[in-house]
Amino acid sequence: MTQLSPLYEGKAKIIYATADPEILLAEFKDEATAFNAQKRGAIQNKGVMNCAIASHLFRYLAAQGIPNHFIAQVAPNQMHIRRVEIIPLEVVVRNRAAGSLCRQTGLPLGLELNPPLVEFYLKNDALGDPLLTGDRLRLLQIATDEEVAQITQMALAVNTHLSRFFAECGITLVDFKLEFGRSQRGEILLADEISPDSCRLWNQEETDPEKRILDKDRFRQDLGAIEEAYALVMQRVLAHSIP
């Protein structure tokens, strides 16, 4: 399929139009940002690794009945996706306390959260992606109450499937961020990406709190061996079969 002009360039991906108006091409970049793009760098081969990981996870979730925008991986760092209107929310699911939850509440790192926590953040870099309350979500009219209920249910279902998937890879899914979109037909689809950029993943074979980190926290905290961590996630994810 012919690739047309870039429609949008984000921090980790470039989105191109294709000859089919319903299909877009997502190209994954090696560039990495953290702390609302105040920290910038590159993680060698990240584009290829995240594209492979996300493609596999989207295929797995589709097989589990979670509708998502993935169509096909068309190059090592490119996938075709269904065009959706992105809902400007970052939906975070947490199984253990980490990151901003620890910073803002004082809960100890790694504390198990049962049931898992679902949080909505406004996807707006200029405002620093603030955490929303239910009332603020309603006030902003970003999504209807029905859509919010459906997104929450989908996020929890994704968590159930991915937690099991990663556990079978010897990895703990600590927390992750999802984005959703509306298809042309008004259907809510899981969108964006699922990768070590958007998930906290801990290697169950390591007890050392730094060595066990297999995700972008290695970049955020300058822990080194970032490429090796992403490669290990990719190798274990791709080795996990899809039913």
Enumerate binding residues for ligand UDP (CB under 6 A): 90, 92, 98-101, 129, 175-177, 198-200, 216
Cβ(209)–Cβ(109) under 8 Å?
yes
Please name the amino acid found at residue 199: C
Beta carbon nearer to ligand UDP, 27 or 193:
193
Residue nearest to ligand UDP (CB): 99
Residues for the chain: how many in total? 243
**Minimum distance of ligand UDP from residue 161's CB (angstroms):** 17
Closest CA to 4 of 12, 15, 13, 224: 15
- Our CB check for ligand UDP shows the closer of 70 and 120 to be 120
* Cβ-based nearer residue to ligand UDP, 165 or 176: 176
Closest distance between ligand UDP and the C-beta of residue 29, in Å? 15
Residues 6+ apart with CB under 8 A from 237: 52, 53, 56, 57, 165, 169
Q: Between residues 11 and 18, which has the closer beta carbon with respect to ligand UDP? A: 11
Q: Give the containing element (helix H, strand E) for 171.
A: strand 171-182
Backbone angles phi, psi at 173, to 5 degrees: -85, 100
Quote the least distance from Cβ 238 to ligand UDP, whole Å: 21
Q: How far is the CB of 230 from ligand UDP (least distance, A)?
A: 13
